[in-house]
Chain A
Amino acid sequence: MKLMDKNLGLVEVQKLEGHTDRVWNVAWNPAADGVLASCSADKTVRIWEQSSLTRSWTCKAVLEGTHTRTVKSLAWSPSAKLLATASFDGTTCVWENFATDSESVSVLQVHESEVKSVSWNASGSLLATCGRDKSVWIWEVLPENEFDCAAVLTGHSEDVKMVLWHPTMDVLFSCSYDNTVKIWWSEDEYGDYNCVQTLGESNNGHSSTVWSISFNAAGDKMVTCSDDLTVKIWKTDISRMQSGEGYVPWTHVCTLSGFHDRTIYSVHWSRDGVIACGAGDDTIQLFVDSNSDSVDRPSYKLLLKKEKAHEKDVNSVQWAPDKESRLLASGSDDKMVKIWKLASEP
């Protein structure tokens, strides 16, 4: 792999200050370059924009006054017209025209306790949420910022930490304090979602809370991270599933262990194949498949370890969605958001 041969480093581009409590999550705008959102225990969401002149980021908007408790997670719709936020106050809010005079917010209030995560499917027609009440909800997105409940999925035996739609198919993934990843799929167009697979300890799954999931660009590989201090890679034959063969199970590829010595909270796979992890050991670590250019079996190696990336736990890492910039955003318990660039060291 070309990346392994270069002398690469994760260079801090900018530190974004503003949140007054820990930052739980960061999310890049998928439709506009250089725009990032972050959410925090300070109950607000901040939108940061990169100036085309100075190339530095400033806070363009603060979304506040709606959530009454920690905002844990957020997700831009694929068109970036809507921003969904998940909060410990039990609500999911979907913002439209935010920070303008025509701002409107739809409030989805169904979870019985804290909402932990929210995710849009690839087409933006479905929204999923999950929370400490162990349930996963799927919503149909209707015109005028309206939402209809399409499914309530029970099956996890504990707090559900994250939900994520597959990048190309309407298959939903959830991960939980019950140590498993569950996969939900609807065989027909009527939207009856069922749990079609559970990745648990018996099939090489994690042995403690699974905090985060991410897919590679092709959607045929998945990475998960956990309180068990490991990162696991999974694969499936996605082309078989895309051609209508029915559900094709995911299988374990490998486990990366011994790299982090505290809970790994966040993992994100870049478009060009770099896996970033953020953990409670204050580090950000990057992994790549050193065999990705060959026909050999994948071999995941540590590309680099950034010690003291933040002063405290790194809660969230996310690569910018464009193909060239190699920018990474991170959010931490130290209240900071940082922008990094993966670049050759001088």
Chain B
Amino acid sequence: MTLGLINANPVVQAKKERLVRREDQYRDDGVDPLEIYEYVRDIRDPEHPYTLEQLSVLSEESVTVDEKLDRILIMFTPTIQHCSMANIIGLCLRAKLKECLPLHYKVDIRVSPGSHADEVSVNKQLNDKERVAAALENPNLRQLVDECIYSAEI
């Protein structure tokens, strides 16, 4: 771990109000992108004591669902172009969704286009499931990921 923070001065948004959802906004048979967003918006950033939503890393537009193929795409925006936490954020997203989602959904995670200097290589690593699995077996990484995904419950 580096000693200094990668991004020492993040821009922090106020916590967004939780909308009260009307019943008819939910699809009976599918997964609502906003439902998925609820699972991930409060994941804590690995570096700063704020949620990914507060740092604008995630927003409601981050999640899209292909209802026909049961595939979910999450695009997130690292706070800076050379963010080395991008892979950790990706792992946190996967770890959290693994707990919450119906199992057959395929999840693809990418950085928003143009938001990272190594966009292609970050996206490749985020979507190599063997690399993701091995990383989540690493006790140090797993501990960091758990701290980020469970912090909202503390």
Contacts and interface: CB of A to CB of B under 8 A. Distances in A.
Give the size category of B's interface with A: 10 to 19
Contacts of A156: none
Contacts of A159: 131
Contacts of A70: 133-134, 137
Contacts of A88: 133-134, 137
A311 B103 contact: yes
Contacts of B129: 263, 280, 313
B109 to A, nearest CB: 14
A312 B133 contact: no
Interface in B100-141: 103-104, 106, 124, 128-131, 133-134, 137
A113 B131 CA distance: 11
Given A88-B137, A208-B124, A161 B130 contact: yes
A41 B128 CA distance: 16
Interface in B35-58: none
A319 B130 CA distance: 23
A44 interface: no
Interface string A293-313: 000000000000000000111
A43 to B, nearest CB: 10
A69 B133 CA distance: 11
Give the size category of A's interface with B: 20 to 34
Contacts of B137: 69-70, 88
Nearest to B69: A261
Contacts of A132: 131, 134
A91 to B, nearest CB: 14
A114 B128 contact: no
Question: Chain A interface secondary structure, helix, strand, loop or mixed?
Answer: loop
A227 B128 contact: yes
Contacts of A22: 133
Interface string B50-75: 00000000000000000000000000
A116 B129 CA distance: 13
B102 to A, nearest CB: 11
B133 A311 contact: no
Nearest to A116: B130
A57 interface: no
Contact of A41 (B103, B124, B133): B133
B132 to A, nearest CB: 12
Interface string A120-157: 00000000000010000000000000000000000000
B106 A311 contact: no
Contacts of B128: 177, 209, 227
Contact of A312 (B103, B124, B130, B131): B103
A280 B132 CA distance: 15
Nearest to A282: B104
Interface in B62-97: none
A326 interface: no
Contacts of A280: 106, 129
A209 B123 CA distance: 13
Contacts of A116: 130
B98 to A, nearest CB: 11
A311 B104 contact: yes
A332 to B, nearest CB: 12
Contact of A262 (B106, B124, B130): B106
Interface string A305-327: 00000011100000000000000
B104 A312 contact: yes
A312 B102 CA distance: 11
Given A208-B124, A209-B124, A313-B129, A114 B134 contact: yes
A280 B130 CA distance: 12
A240 B134 CA distance: 42
Interface of A: 22, 41, 69-70, 72, 88, 113-114, 116, 132, 159, 161, 177, 208-209, 227, 262-263, 280, 311-313
27 contacts: A22-B133, A41-B133, A69-B137, A70-B133, A70-B134, A70-B137, A72-B130, A88-B133, A88-B134, A88-B137, A114-B134, A116-B130, A132-B131, A132-B134, A159-B131, A161-B130, A177-B124, A177-B131, A209-B124, A209-B128, A227-B128, A262-B106, A263-B129, A311-B103, A311-B104, A312-B103, A313-B129
The 9 A-B residue pairs whose C-beta atoms are closest, nearest first, are A114-B134, A88-B134, A69-B137, A88-B137, A311-B104, A70-B137, A312-B104, A209-B128, A41-B133
